[in-house]
Homo-oligomer: A and B are copies of this chain.
Amino acid sequence: MADLPSRVDIHEEGPREGFQIEPGPIPTADKIALIEALAETGLRHIQICSFVNPRLVPGWADAEAVAGGFRPKEGVHYTALWFNENGLNRALAFADRLTLGGSISLAASNAFSIKNLNRPHAENLEAMRKQTAVHQKHGIKVTRVGVMAAFGCNYQGDITPAQIVQTVADGLAIAAEAGETITDVSLADTMGWATPIRIERGVAAVRERWPELNIGLHLHDTRGLAVANAHAGLRLGVTRFDSTAGGLGGCPFAGQKGAAGNIATEELALLCEEMGIDTGIDLDALIEVGRMAERIVGHALPSELLRAGSLDAFRRKAA
């Protein structure tokens, strides 16, 4: 049996991912209530909103109201997402309550870059150079390289470990030119192409080249393999995972409506806790918040665990 880490950091992205994809309007008060409930479960990292163009993403037209409206809990890091200087400026207005960090976001698939970012990889590198300069201008450290479509792409097909490594190298070069130090790399299975073997090979290739970098995984459950992929990451010592309560989010890239989104936070937490890996999370409380998220969005979420309940709940009854 492989050595598993003793603890992991789970970064909850349910509010940000979930509320941008839901078709109907979600009341601001409900968004705030979910964020505050999540903070009571032991989660220490919560991405609360996206400062994006409200005409393109109407679900986040109330980003300011959410970012300014929730009651922060001590010890919890609240983060947000932005894609340009305008978004960053909006986030900076909440610098007293948000943890703001800069990222260099690239895609390992050129076809995905074109389809999703509207620019080929080479142009995206140039855009990331400019965005890094913007971050520096505002005193935001750039510490993270994100690689989208790291394990495969609906528009390009398979992605090799060498392509992941090249993409990370491209991001590190931008940071180095700007004098920034990258500490974290996030590999995203944006369209659900990962398998345990692809995770092993991709993570191993990045780690072999840059043993000093922390590697995180952003997994989607598009084809039901997210938990197996998380387990493969854990076995390689990965200790940072993004996830969403209940599996909030859906996948806009899967090519079919209704496809699952991120790995569900509570299923990831169950996997970890039942194997002796500390997440800091009260799983029964988190399951209740997942059910609350279902009530807020008005439909069932993909997480099976929400329906079945935790094992501890049954252990208490059986004892």
User: What is A's interface to B at a CB cutoff of 8 Å?
Assistant: 1, 111, 152-158, 192-193, 195-198, 200, 221-225, 227-228, 230-232, 251, 254-260, 264, 267, 270-271, 274-276, 300, 302-305, 307-309, 311, 314-315, 317-319
Contacts and interface: CB of A to CB of B under 8 A. Distances in A.
Nearest to A311: B193
A307 B111 contact: no
B225 A308 contact: no
Contacts of A307: 254, 256-260
B275 A195 contact: yes
Contact of A256 (B200, B221, B309, B318): B309
Given A152-B311, A259-B308, 16 more contacts: A1-B200, A154-B314, A197-B274, A223-B270, A223-B305, A224-B303, A225-B267, A227-B227, A228-B231, A231-B231, A254-B307, A254-B308, A254-B309, A256-B307, A259-B307, A260-B307
Contacts of A305: 223-224
A178 B40 CA distance: 59
Contacts of A300: 258
A318 B156 contact: yes
15 contacts: A1-B200, A152-B311, A154-B318, A157-B314, A158-B315, A193-B311, A223-B305, A224-B270, A225-B270, A228-B231, A231-B232, A255-B309, A256-B307, A258-B307, A302-B304
User: How many monomers of this protein are in the complex?
Assistant: 2
Contact of A271 (B193, B221, B228, B259): B228
A38 B85 CA distance: 54
Task: Determine which residue in A231, A264, A267, A276 has the highest number of CB atoms from chain B within 10 A of its CB, and name it.
Answer: A231
A195 B223 CA distance: 19
A308 B196 contact: no
A270, A300, A305 — most chain B CB neighbours (10 Å): A305
Contacts of A258: 300, 307
Nearest to A250: B307
Contacts of A195: 271, 274-275
Contacts of A260: 304, 307-308
A253 to B, nearest CB: 10
A197 B318 CA distance: 22
A307 B253 CA distance: 12
Contacts of A304: 221-224, 259-260, 302
Contacts of A200: 1
A109 to B, nearest CB: 9
A222 B271 contact: no
Contact of A308 (B1, B255, B303): B255
A225 B227 contact: yes
A158 B308 CA distance: 16
